[in-house]
Amino acid sequence: MVVENVGWVSTFSARGTDTCMDVTLSLNLPSPLEGWRVSDKATLSDRNRIDFSLGLGPHPYTEAVPNLAKANWDEFQEILGNKSFRDP
């Protein structure tokens, strides 16, 4: 497990108290988590936004997902015929 937080920047601000109480953890990511930082942009919360990117590159599962609505179910049934299938 890797702690991805970089530095000590407040992630929580309320009633004059600033603390770094949020932890970002990762485990066995396919590529490193990059650009972890606490945003300085205003939020409507007492939490500060945490920004990061996960550069995965090409997705390993890039095959097209078949559109089952376009399947020829009559042909499928014909190919299967009267074969029976059971759980192993």
For residue range 25-62, list pLDDT tens digits in order: 888 877 778 888 888 887 888 888 888 888 766 655 55
Q: pTM score, two decimals?
A: 0.51
Whether 13 shows a pLDDT value over 70: the answer reads: yes
User: What is the pLDDT, as a whole number, of residue 64?
Assistant: 67
Note the pLDDT of residue 68.
83
More confident position, 57 or 80: 80
29: phi then psi, degrees, rounded to nearest 5 = -70, 145
The token pair at 83 is 């074969």
Give the per-residue pLDDT at 55: 73
3-class SS of residue 17: strand
| Of 11, 7, 8, residue with least CA distance to 46 | 11
